[in-house]
């Protein structure tokens, strides 16, 4: 009997019969191949899962059988297509489709449809797979095939987002015993879980706990369902063995999070913390999770760690951020960091999501701003006003109003506070007092900054509500001082008089101070009698030895000098010297002059020699020596006079007395019969002052000597060598020039400019060309036409005319500096310093050098120039501060940070204006460079308190403070500082810097709070070595 082999059992009955009929061929020798043996061999390979070899053999059968509908060929095509499916060939689907198209009535078509369903399923073509599933005859399937069919059909529905149909299929499978029952249970439970059917889902997942494949997958579901059901105790019991399993569990971080949050919700913060900390180790912890961890740290009183977490939660504008910032404020308060608490309350108020939190945050923010006297952008006043407006019936109303009033009184941002008060129409007495004080304080601030016009306006505002007599008196006084500073002397007198007539003023020091001020005002108005009276009253009233008292004595002397009461002047000058005046050299010089005017020559000589003996380097030394020379001439002591004139010429070459001294020396030499020396001296004077006006007297004297000696031809020959004298045209030349000069001397500069231009056009090399160029340049300079003035001033400098050199250098250097031509300005300032005869010009030269060197980045040289400014007794406090900053910055460039800090500190302690603000900023910057970030913060807050009106330095300081906070890893405070700059600064460059820094911080916080993708759950798929990712 012939037995059908396993391979033949796969063959349709018709083909099996064909093979049986030829079965005897199997008994033939091996080298003899019976018909159909190749198909049988291919089927045998197929059964052994040798799909590649089997497909090769099936293809040979197809090639051998030429009849397209022959059973052998059809069978071979069918199995070849199945091999392609098993081998995952790209053309597998094509082969199956081709088979159905070529053999639509074949018995294998039903099986092919099933294969196409499974093939498209394997390719994850879910919709196509479902389409083929509809074409499968499920009633023709075996139980195992039906189980597979229903599971995969359910899974395809699941993947296409149709859980209703999916769960129908999974439910049919999950209660079976086949290989797909377990995954069907998993997916059915998963769908129930997603639908919120937690009880049903939990029952399904619990069935899978001991399954080899799903035992590691389902714990996260079970834990989360227990969490969602609020079964926190059961959850704690469930997760402990899982988390202690040495082999680990999938999504361990998530399970820790659930256990931690369960304890957090139960108020068991100590028990929650270990779970939450382990969960937090995952990358990209979400803001919600950070809030829970931060709150837990706060509740176990680990506030520093709480702040670290809240800091990242606060990077938002939602209710979670508001709660986080509010809790941050509480943490800061308990840590004693009120400044940071103020910032946090401000942020919580700004977010404004929860009304109760918003109200409480606003109140506490304003309260802390008041307590700390720190309100950099005047927000506390606005906040309190908003609080009272928004919550008119709050039980804290009286307390808030009291804070508001006190904030007004403590703020140094005076203008903003006044603007706020101006919005309150009905001011009670206390608000009027606050308004008066703020207006007065702002006036003082402006006055100290030498902004006299603006200061006067605020002193006037202080009198709008004249509720405090003391403040009224001070407002009148300082308004008078402001008018004096502007040069409006009549207005100053009126205000001094208003002060002296105001109620209660007589009992104050200001009453006499006003008299002192009136004395100076009358003096400036050349009303010397009234001035002397005012100064005498002040001296009589002020019994203390003060600088002002001795100064008033000197000024009485000056008034007497001007009114030619020389004896009285000498008396007052003597009284001033005895009282210890700081202006001793001036006083002695003036005394000597008065004695000379009264022909007390010996007394004058003694006085001036006393001056030179006590102060040989006095700024009046040249004047004293010249006066001694003049006095000795008057007393016929030519030798002594010659000695003093010679001292003026040699020791003070830039003094305005030099030209006269040279003429006097020549005159004395002539009297002595030393005509050669006289001629030499006169020619030296002409060479030093090479203009007609400058040399006129010297030329006349020289001509007289030559005429007396009969050497006229020699004189004429000498005159022809002078470039500035043209005898042929001198008379007409001078008439043209004098016409223009008269306009200049009358102060008619616009007309003088044209007249000098006409003169120079007619006489470009005239005798007065140099004078004309200088005077025209001077007029243009004073008129602000710097580009036109500069060529004239520069021509004067190159001509070397001594009488104009100082003024020309001053104007030209100033023009170059204004134009930012630092090198040229530096050259001119350097040339000006040694020749300056006027103290203010010498100071200007030193200051100009310092500033140019600073702009050129030559900090070491700038510091040397600054040392000269500091040593100059005429330098103002502001210039000394500026010089101090230059010296400090040189130390900073040389990395002498401690030395720089000390210098900056000295400036900041002595200045209340922008220079002090700059120095304070630099102090903070030095601390930043020293990595002393907490001290950086201290210096910045100190700057804000002391210099609130200087927005530029305040904004720079907050940007620096933000950098320091970043170094301290306190990004919340850094963002608050930067946001303050962005919201309040008017400096676009600083706002741009703040925006860039804020964007960098936000990007980093976003990265830290963006949840990382969850660990994928690998779900076992039956019938394959692969797993599915959930």
Res. 1021 pLDDT band, cuts 50 70 90: low
Q: What is the pLDDT of residues 155-168, one digit of tens each?
A: 999 999 999 999 99
Q: Residue 939 in contact with residue 920, Cβ under 8 Å?
A: yes
Q: Which stretch of DSSP H or E encloses residue 1028?
A: strand 1027-1029
3-state secondary structure of 301: coil
Res. 131 pLDDT band, cuts 50 70 90: confident
* Percent with pLDDT over 90 in the chain: 50
Residue 438 has pLDDT above 60, yes or no: yes
The DSSP 8-state label assigned to residue 1018 in this structure reads E
pLDDT of residue 23: 37
Q: How high does pLDDT run on average in the chain?
A: 86
Domains of the chain and CATH, by start:
36-139 (1.25.40.10), 299-411 (1.25.40.10), 619-689 (1.25.40.10), 691-727 (no CATH)
- Poorest-pLDDT segment among 56-60, 514-518, 560-564: 56-60
* Mean pLDDT value of segment 525-537: 93
- Poorest-pLDDT segment among 10-19, 105-114, 692-701, 984-993: 10-19
| Dihedral, CA of residue 621, residue 626, residue 631 and residue 634, to nearest 10 | 180
Closest CA to 187 of 196, 174, 176, 177: 174
Report the chain's terminal Cα–Cα distance, integer Å: 56
**CA dihedral sign, ordered 578, 581, 582, 587:** negative
Q: What is the pLDDT of residues 842-888, one digit of tens each?
A: 999 999 999 999 999 999 999 999 999 999 988 989 999 999 999 99
Give the rounded distance of the alpha carbon of 419 from its chain centre.
26
The residue with greater pLDDT, 427 or 193, is 193
* Mean pLDDT value of segment 310-339: 93
439-462 residues labelled b (16+ CB within 10 A) or e (exposed): bbbbbbbbbebebbeebbebbbbb
- Poorest-pLDDT segment among 75-79, 790-794, 795-799: 75-79
Q: Residue 975 in contact with residue 340, Cβ under 8 Å?
A: no
Residue 319 has pLDDT above 90, yes or no: yes
Closest CA to 478 of 508, 434, 507: 508
- Poorest-pLDDT segment among 395-404, 791-800, 959-968: 395-404
Residue 281 has pLDDT above 50, yes or no: yes
C-beta contacts of 383-392 below 8 A and 24+ residues apart: 383/346, 383/349, 385/420, 385/423, 386/362, 387/359, 387/362, 387/363, 390/359, 390/362, 391/359
Res. 19 pLDDT band, cuts 50 70 90: very low
Residue 20 has pLDDT above 60, yes or no: no
Can you name the residues that pair with 1018 across neighbouring β-strands?
Answer: 1029
Residue 1028 has pLDDT above 80, yes or no: no
* Mean pLDDT value of segment 628-644: 93
Residue 22 has pLDDT above 50, yes or no: no
The residue with greater pLDDT, 192 or 245, is 192
Q: How far is CA 434 from CA 368, 371, 439, 659, 771, in A?
A: 20, 18, 9, 62, 59
Res. 193 pLDDT band, cuts 50 70 90: very high
Q: Mind giving me the DSSP string for 905-966?
A: HHHHHH--SHHHHHHHHHHHHHHHHTT-HHHHHHHHHHHHHH-TT-HHHHHHHHHHHHHHHH
pLDDT of residue 733: 76
Can you name the residues that pair with 1029 across neighbouring β-strands?
Answer: 1018
The DSSP 8-state label assigned to residue 88 in this structure reads T
Q: Mind giving me the DSSP string for 162-209?
A: -HHHHHHHHHHHHTSSSTTHHHHHHHHHHHHHHTT-HHHHHHHHHHTT
* Mean pLDDT value of segment 963-972: 91
* Percent with pLDDT over 70 in the chain: 93
Can you name the residues that pair with 1028 across neighbouring β-strands?
Answer: 1019
pLDDT of residue 274: 92
Can you name the residues that pair with 1027 across neighbouring β-strands?
Answer: 1020
Burial class (CB in 10 A: 0-12, 13-18, 19+), 790: buried
* Mean pLDDT value of segment 81-104: 81
Q: How far apart are CA 573 and CA 565, in angstroms?
A: 12
3-state secondary structure of 404: helix
Res. 115 pLDDT band, cuts 50 70 90: confident
pLDDT of residue 30: 44
pLDDT of residue 82: 84
Closest CA to 129 of 166, 98, 103: 166
Strands 1018-1020 and 1027-1029, bridge-based pairing? antiparallel
């Amino acid at each position: 009997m012939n037995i059908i082999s396993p391979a033949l059992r796969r063959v349709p009955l018709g083909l099996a019969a064909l093979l049986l009929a030829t079965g005897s061929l199997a008994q033939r020798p091996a080298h003899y191949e019976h018909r159909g043996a190749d198909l049988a061999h291919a089927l045998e390979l197929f059964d052994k899962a040798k799909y590649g070899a089997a497909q090769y053999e099936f293809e040979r059968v197809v090639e051998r059988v030429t009849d397209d509908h022959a059973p052998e060929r059809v069978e071979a095509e069918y199995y070849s297509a199945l091999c392609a499916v098993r081998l995952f060939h790209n053309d597998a689907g094509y082969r199956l489709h081709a088979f159905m198209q070529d053999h639509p009535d074949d018995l294998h078509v039903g099986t092919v449809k099933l294969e196409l369903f499974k093939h498209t399923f394997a390719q994850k073509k879910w919709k196509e797979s479902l389409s083929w599933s509809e074409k499968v005859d499920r009633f023709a399937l075996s139980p195992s095939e039906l189980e597979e069919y229903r599971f995969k059909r359910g899974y395809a529905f699941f993947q296409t987002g149709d859980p209703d149909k999916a769960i129908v299929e999974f439910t049919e499978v999950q209660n079976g015993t086949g290989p797909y029952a377990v995954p069907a249970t998993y997916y059915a439970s998963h769908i129930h879980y997603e639908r919120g059917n937690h009880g049903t889902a939990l029952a399904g997942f619990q069935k899978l706990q001991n399954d080899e494949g799903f035992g590691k997958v389902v714990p996260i579901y079970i834990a989360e369902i227990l969490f969602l059901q609020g079964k926190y105790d059961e959850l704690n019991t469930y997760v402990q063995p899982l988390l202690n399993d040495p082999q680990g569990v999938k999504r361990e971080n998530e399970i820790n999070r659930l256990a931690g949050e369960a304890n957090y919700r139960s108020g068991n913060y100590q028990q929650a913390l270990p779970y939450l900390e382990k969960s937090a180790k995952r990358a990209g912890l979400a803001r919600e999770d950070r809030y829970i961890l931060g709150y837990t740290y706060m509740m176990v009183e680990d506030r520093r760690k709480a702040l670290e977490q809240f800091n990242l939660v606060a990077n938002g504008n939602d209710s979670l951020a508001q709660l986080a910032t509010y809790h941050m404020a509480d943490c800061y308060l308990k840590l004693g960091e009120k400044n940071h608490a103020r910032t946090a309350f401000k942020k919580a108020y700004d977010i404004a999501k929860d009304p109760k939190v918003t109200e409480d945050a606003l109140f506490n923010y304003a309260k802390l701003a008041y307590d700390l006297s720190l309100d950099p952008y005047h927000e506390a006043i606005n906040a309190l006003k908003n609080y009272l407006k928004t919550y008119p019936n709050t039980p804290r109303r009286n307390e808030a109003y009291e804070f508001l009033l006190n904030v007004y009184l403590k703020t140094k941002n005076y203008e903003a506070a006044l603007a706020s008060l101006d919005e309150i129409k009905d001011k009670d007495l206390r608000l009027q007092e606050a308004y008066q004080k703020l207006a007065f304080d702002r006036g003082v601030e402006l006055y100290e900054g030498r902004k006299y016009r603006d200061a006067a306006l605020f002193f006037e505002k202080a009198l709008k509500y004249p509720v405090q007599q003391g403040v009224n008196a001070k407002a009148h006084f300082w308004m008078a001082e402001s008018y004096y500073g502007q040069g409006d002397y009549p207005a100053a007198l009126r205000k001094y008089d208003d002060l002296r007539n105001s109620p209660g003023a007589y009992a104050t020091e200001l009453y006499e101070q006003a008299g002192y001020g009136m004395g100076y005002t009358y003096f400036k108005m050349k009303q010397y009698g009234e001035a002397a009276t005012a100064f005498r009253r002040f001296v009589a009233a002020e019994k203390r030895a003060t600088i002002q008292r001795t100064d008033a004595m000197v000024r009485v002397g000056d008034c007497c000098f001007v009114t030619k009461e020389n004896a009285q002047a000498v008396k007052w000058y003597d009284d001033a010297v005895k009282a210890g005046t700081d202006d001793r050299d001036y006083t002695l010089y003036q005394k000597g002059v008065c004695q000379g005017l009264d022909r007390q020559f010996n007394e004058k000589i003694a006085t001036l020699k006393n001056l030179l003996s006590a102060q040989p380097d006095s700024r009046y030394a040249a004047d004293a020596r010249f006066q001694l020379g003049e006095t000795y001439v008057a007393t016929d002591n030519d030798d002594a006079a010659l000695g003093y004139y010679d001292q003026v010429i040699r020791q003070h070459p830039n003094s305005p007395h030099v030209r006269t001294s040279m003429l006097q020396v020549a005159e004395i030499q002539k009297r002595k019969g030393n005509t050669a020396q006289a001629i030499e001296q006169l020619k030296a004077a002409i060479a030093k002052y090479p203009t007609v006006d400058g040399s006129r007297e010297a030329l006349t004297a020289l001509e007289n000597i030559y005429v007396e000696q009969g050497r006229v031809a020699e004189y004429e020959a000498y005159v022809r060598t002078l470039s500035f004298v043209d005898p042929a045209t001198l008379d007409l030349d001078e008439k043209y020039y004098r016409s223009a000069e008269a306009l200049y001397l009358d102060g008619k500069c616009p007309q003088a400019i044209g007249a000098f231009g006409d003169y120079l056009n007619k006489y470009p090399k005239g005798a007065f060309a140099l004078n004309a160029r200088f005077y025209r340049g001077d007029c243009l300079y004073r008129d602000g036409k710097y580009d036109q003035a500069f060529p004239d001033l520069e021509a004067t400098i190159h001509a070397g005319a001594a009488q104009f050199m100082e003024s020309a250098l001053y104007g030209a250097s100033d023009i170059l500096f204004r134009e930012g031509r630092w090198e040229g300005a530096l050259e001119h300032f350097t040339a000006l310093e040694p020749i300056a005869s006027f103290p203010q010009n010498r100071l200007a030269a030193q200051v100009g050098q310092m500033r140019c060197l600073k702009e050129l980045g030559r900090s070491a040289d700038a510091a040397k120039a600054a040392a000269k400014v500091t040593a100059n007794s005429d330098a103002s406090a502001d210039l000394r501060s500026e010089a101090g900053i230059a010296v400090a910055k040189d130390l900073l460039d040389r990395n002498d940070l401690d030395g720089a800090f000390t210098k900056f500190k000295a400036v900041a302690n002595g200045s209340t204006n922008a220079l002090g603000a700059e120095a304070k900023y630099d102090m903070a910057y030095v601390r930043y460079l020293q990595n002393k970030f907490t001290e950086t913060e201290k210096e910045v807050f100190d700057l804000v308190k002391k210099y609130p009106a200087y927005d530029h330095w305040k904004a720079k300081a907050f940007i620096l403070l933000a950098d320091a906070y970043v170094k301290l890893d306190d990004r919340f405070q850094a963002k608050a500082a930067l946001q303050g700059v962005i919201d309040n600064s008017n400096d676009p460059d600083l706002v741009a810097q703040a925006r860039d820094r804020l964007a960098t911080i936000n990007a980093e916080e976003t990265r830290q709070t963006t949840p990382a993708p969850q660990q994928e759950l690998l779900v076992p798929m039956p019938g394959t070595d692969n797993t599915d990712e959930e």
